[in-house]
Amino acid sequence: MARPNLKQQILDKGAEFVFENGFTASGVSDITQAAGVPKGSFYNHFQSKEAFGLEILERYFVSSSEKAAASLEDKTLTPKGRLEAYLDLMMRDLETQDWSHGCLIGNFILEASCTSEQIRLRLKSFFADWSGRLAACIAEAQQIGEIRNETDAATLANFFIHAWEGAILRMKVDRDRRALDEYRAVLFASVLA
C-alpha cells in the first residue's frame, strides 16, 4: 500500500526539479532521484508523468489562487490598489527565485500544452479562473472611476495576464526585473489608468 507522505515527498521534490529543469527534460527517474525514492514508488502514486504534471500544476494553481485572493479581495485597499499589491506580490515571489524560474503555469504552456490535451485543458481552466478574478477587481475599479479605461474588464484582465506572461519570459532571459518593472509601469500608467 502506498504511503501518503511518500507521495507528498515525490510531489514536493519532483515539483522543485521540474521548476528548475522543465517538465519535458524531467524524466521519472530524475523526479524519483530528486525525491530520494525508488522509481517504482512513482507509479504507486501516479499513473504517468502526465498525471504527475497535472497534480503539481494543480498544487501550484491552488497556491497561486490563495495569494491572488489575499490581494485581490483585500477590502482595506481600493480595487486598483489591490491590483498593484497583487502584482507586487507576484514580483516578490519571482525575486526569491533569482528571476530564473518564472511561472510554472507559463512554463507548462511552453512545454506541454502541445503534447498533452489534458494539460492544455487544465491550463485553459486556470486562465479562465485567473482572468475572472482580475476582471472582477478591474470592473470594480472602473465603476468607481479609479480605472478610466472603458475597455471591457474581461479584455483588460486577459491583457494583464498575456503581457505578464510575456514579461516573465523576458525576465527569465535577462535574469533581472527590468521587463517586469517596465510591464508594471505601462500597465498602471496606460492600460489600467
Distance from C-alpha of 156 to C-alpha of 149, rounded to nearest angstrom: 9
The pLDDT value recorded for residue 101 is 87
- CATH code 1.10.10.60 region(s) in the chain: 1-46
pLDDT in tens, 148-165: 999 999 999 999 999 999
Q: Indicate if the pLDDT at residue 1 is higher than 80.
A: no
Measured over the CA atoms of residue 98, residue 167, residue 71 and residue 77, the dihedral's sign is positive
Coil, helix or strand at residue 134: helix
- CATH code 1.10.357.10 region(s) in the chain: 54-191
Q: Are 39 and 30 in contact (CB under 8 A)?
A: no
Chain-wide mean pLDDT for the chain? 94
The pLDDT value recorded for residue 157 is 98
Query: pTM of the prediction?
Result: 0.90
- Residue 107's identity, in one-letter code, is N
Side-chain half-sphere exposure of 158, counting CA atoms within 13 A:
7
Closest CA to 173 of 106, 125, 102, 103: 102
Share of the chain above pLDDT 90, in %: 89
Distance from C-alpha of 63 to C-alpha of 56, rounded to nearest angstrom: 11
**Residue that the C-alpha cell 506541454 belongs to:** 112
Q: Residues with Cβ < 8 Å from 1, sequence gap 6 or more?
A: none
Q: Indicate if the pLDDT at residue 2 is higher than 60.
A: no
Distance from C-alpha of 104 to C-alpha of 68, rounded to nearest angstrom: 15
pLDDT band at 4 (very low <50, low <70, confident <90, very high): low
Q: Are 21 and 104 in contact (CB under 8 A)?
A: no
pLDDT in tens, 86-134: 999 999 999 998 998 899 999 999 888 888 999 999 999 999 999 999 9
Q: What fold, for 1-46?
A: Arc Repressor Mutant, subunit A (1.10.10)
Class of the domain covering 54-191? mainly alpha
| Stretch 30-43: mean pLDDT | 94
Closest CA to 121 of 58, 184, 49, 167: 58
The pLDDT value recorded for residue 129 is 96
pLDDT band at 5 (very low <50, low <70, confident <90, very high): confident
